[in-house]
Structure 1
Amino acid sequence: MQHAIVVNDLHFTWPDGQRLFDELTFAVGPGRTGLVGTNGSGKSTLLRLVAGALRPARGHVQVAGTIGYLRQDLTLDPGLPVAEVLGIAATRRALHAIEAGHGTDDDFAAVGDDWDVDERARAALDRLGLAHIGLDRRVGEVSGGEAMLLGLAAYVLNPPGVLLLDEPTNNLDLDARTRLSDVVAAWPGVLVVVSHDRELLERVDQIAELRDGGLRFYGGAFSDYEAAVAAEQETALRLVRAAEGDVRRQQRDLIEARMKADRRASQGRRQQLAGGIPKIVAGALQRQAQQSAGRQRTLHGEKLDEARVRLTEAEDAVRDDDTIRVDLPHTAVPAGRTVLTVRDAVLRNGARVDLDVRGPERIALLGPNGAGKTTLLETIVGTLTPTAGTVTPAVPLRYLPQRLDLLDPTATIATNAERLAPSATTNEIRAALARFLFRGGRADQTVGTLSGGERFRATLASLLLAQPAPQLLLLDEPTNNLDLASVEQLAQALAAYRGALIVSSHDLPFLRTAGITRWLRLDGDITEVDPR
Structure 2
Amino acid sequence: MAVKADLPFYYCKTIIMFTIQHLTYIHPDKETLFSKLSFSLSKHQKAALIGDNGTGKSTLLRLIAGQISPAAGEVSTDGSIFFVPQLYGQFDTHTVAEVLGFSEKLNAYYAILDGKVDLANYVILDDDWDVEERCLRALAHWGLPAVALTTFLGDLSGGEKVKVFLAAAWLYRPDLLLLDEPSNHLDAAGQQMLYQFIKEMNCAMLIVSHDRQLLQLFDSVLELTPSGIISFSGSYTLYKEQKDLANDALQQKIASQEKEVRKAKDKQRDTLERQQRADARGKKKQEQAGVARIMMNTLRNSAENSTSKIRSIHTERMEGLRKELTDLRGARPAASTMRFTYAEKPIKLSGKVLLDLAQANIRIQSKNLWSAALSFQLKAGERVAIQGANGSGKTTFAQIAVGYMQPTEGVVKRYWHQAFYIDQDYSLLDNDLSVYEQAQQANDGGFLEHQVKTKLDQFLFSADCWTKRCSMLSGGERMRLALCCLSLRKEVPDLLILDEPTNNLDIQNIEILTHAIAEYPGTLLVISHDQQFLDELHITRIVAL
TM-score category, normalised to shorter length: 0.7 to 0.9
CA shift, 1:171, in A, is: 1.0
State the SS of the aligned residue for 2:169. Answer: helix
Structure 2 counterparts to residues 345-424 of structure 1, below 5 A: 345-349=360-364, 350=368, 351=370, 352-395=373-416, 396-422=418-444, 424=446
2:100 aligned to 71, 86, 90, which one?
A: 86
Deviations 1:281-321 (A, max 9, x none): xxxxxxxxxxxxxxxxxxxxxxx9xx99xx89x96996544
Residue type at the aligned position of 1:334? L
State the SS of the aligned residue for 1:209. Answer: strand
In 1, distance between residues paired with 2:133 and 2:67? Answer: 33
Change (3 A) 1:224 1:55: same
Residue type at the aligned position of 1:6? T
Partner in structure 2 of residue 215 of structure 1: 229
Consecutive unaligned residues of structure 2, counting only runs of 5 or more, are 1-13, 263-316
In 1, distance between residues paired with 2:92 and 2:120? Answer: 29
Task: Check whether the contact 1:37–1:211 (CA below 8 A) recurs between aligned residues.
Answer: yes
Query: Larger deviation: 147-156 or 50-59?
Result: 50-59
Query: Larger deviation: 37-46 or 165-174?
Result: 37-46
Query: Larger deviation: 361-370 or 126-135?
Result: 126-135
Residue type at the aligned position of 2:191? R
Runs of 4+ aligned structure 1 residues displaced above 6 Å come to: 235-248
In 2, distance between residues paired with 1:384 and 1:244? Answer: 52
Partner in structure 2 of residue 477 of structure 1: 500
Change (3 A) 1:23 1:465: same
Does residue 516 (structure 1) correspond to residue 534 (structure 2)? The answer is: no
State the SS of the aligned residue for 1:164. Answer: strand
Task: Check whether the contact 2:83–2:179 (CA below 8 A) recurs between aligned residues.
Answer: yes
CA shift, 1:493, in A, is: 1.2
CA shift, 1:48, in A, is: 2.2
Structure 2 counterparts to residues 106-145 of structure 1, below 5 A: 106-145=120-159
Partner in structure 1 of residue 349 of structure 2: 334
Does residue 66 (structure 1) correspond to residue 80 (structure 2)? The answer is: yes
In 2, distance between residues paired with 1:213 and 1:20? Answer: 11
CA shift, 1:101, in A, is: 4.3
In 2, distance between residues paired with 1:365 and 1:5? Answer: 42
TM-score (norm 1): 0.79
Partner in structure 1 of residue 307 of structure 2: none
In 1, distance between residues paired with 2:394 and 2:256? Answer: 53
Change (3 A) 1:97 1:463: same
Partner in structure 1 of residue 52 of structure 2: 38
State the SS of the aligned residue for 1:4. Answer: strand
TM-score (norm 2): 0.77
Structure 2 counterparts to residues 235-314 of structure 1, below 5 A: none
In 2, distance between residues paired with 1:242 and 1:426? Answer: 33
Partner in structure 1 of residue 15 of structure 2: 2
Consecutive unaligned residues of structure 1, counting only runs of 5 or more, are 249-303, 523-532
2:517 aligned to 494, 497, 504, which one?
A: 494
Task: Check whether the contact 2:349–2:380 (CA below 8 A) recurs between aligned residues.
Answer: yes
Query: Larger deviation: 330-339 or 408-417?
Result: 330-339
Residue type at the aligned position of 2:173? P
State the SS of the aligned residue for 1:41. Answer: coil
In 2, distance between residues paired with 1:13 and 1:139? Answer: 31
Residue type at the aligned position of 2:203? G
Does residue 14 (structure 1) correspond to residue 27 (structure 2)? The answer is: yes
Task: Check whether the contact 1:326–1:435 (CA below 8 A) recurs between aligned residues.
Answer: no
State the SS of the aligned residue for 1:419. Answer: helix
CA shift, 1:495, in A, is: 1.2
C-alpha RMSD of matched pairs (Å): 3.5
Query: Larger deviation: 130-139 or 314-323?
Result: 314-323
Partner in structure 1 of residue 457 of structure 2: 434
In 2, distance between residues paired with 1:383 and 1:71? Answer: 32
Residue type at the aligned position of 2:430? D
